[in-house]
Amino acid sequence: MQGISLFDLAEKLNGAVLGNGDCVIFGVETLENASMRDLSFLSKEGYKRYLPLLRRTEAGCVLVDKAKKLELEALSLKTNLLFVDNPSEAFQKGLELFCKASPTTSFSGIHPTSVIHPEAVLSKGVSIGPYAVIEAGASIGKDTQILAHSYVGTNAKIGENCLLFSHSVVREGCILHNRVILQPGCVIGSCGFGYLTSEKGEHTKLSQLGIVVLEDDVEIGANTTIDRARFQETRIKKGTKIDNLCQIAHNVSIGEGNLIVSQTGIAGSTTTGSFCVFAGQSASVGHLKIAPKTTLAARGAFSKSIEEPGGIYNGAPAIPIKEHNRIQAHLRRLEGYVKRIGELEDKIKAIEEAKVCS
């Protein structure tokens, strides 16, 4: 692999070098495992936590926040530094310089084992992989790739430059806008969970006749499921990223730019505003409205709507995170509280007994 000098790297990443600009970098690595041949980074978010690793790292160069320049210059570190606006973003660009991704597929064009209904419409540059199935009335936008064993249902519409990894499913009538990515095994348009239960306890399935709409630049993680609406639509708005193993129920509307992390479940007819964050294993009950820029911490669960934007919540049911943290701090001291209460009860009992005796 051809190396890049720090001077050249600084130009590519729009940074400023502190140290030996002639040092040559050949790859990327973590602070803990890096050698003199490697580029690493210290993110803004992890600055305090990983600063001890920066002091010990053997990395040839570390990308750091230029706002910390004076502080880091005073440490006399043994590694070279490259000051940038955003170390995480610059490291991603560096990663792309040193590590070339493998192609998503070795196949191009329409594979002979794929099954494409004659009434399906394929635009210019579409690629259909082995054993994929495209049903009647489906339309595929230009330069979209549909990889092996994927399924596109009747009358589904998929936009331009989309990427459907293997075993992904887009069921009948569902709509994907442009540049949508479906990771392996995800299911778009599965039936919403709805049944009528008789007095005898017998369950009759409700027809799920709506669709799912994924807007531009949405990405759905592996084995995530998004249910079709009962009669209207489930919608994921543009720029939202949903992790693996999530469940989005019927009639949900997810706002623009949301981040929904693994194993999150959002129940039916809930609406989220723009730029909300649901951390891992979090949840919401149905029919709620969540204000924009709301964050729900890991394993938190909303049981009521959130009206004020920008809040951070945790717990089940979720409460403001500062209140939640205070409660957790008290719970950690619970055994001591019980002991103190017992001691106080003994003292009160002794005082009362003394009064009786006197």
Active centre residues (catalytic):
250
Q: How many CA atoms lie within 13 A of 246 on its CB side?
A: 26
Return d(Cα 353, Cα 351) in angstroms, integer: 5
Q: Which residue has the tokens 């049944």?
A: 195
For Cα atoms 73, 76, 79, give the angle at the middle one, nearest 5 degrees.
95
Joined together, the tokens standing for residue 83 give 């000051």
Pairing of strands 38-41, 27-28: parallel
- CA dist 88 and 316 (Å) reads 32
Question: Within 10 A of 279 (CB to CB), how many other CB atoms are there?
Answer: 18
Number of H helices, E strands in the chain: 6, 39
> How many angstroms separate the most distant Cα atoms in the chain?
103
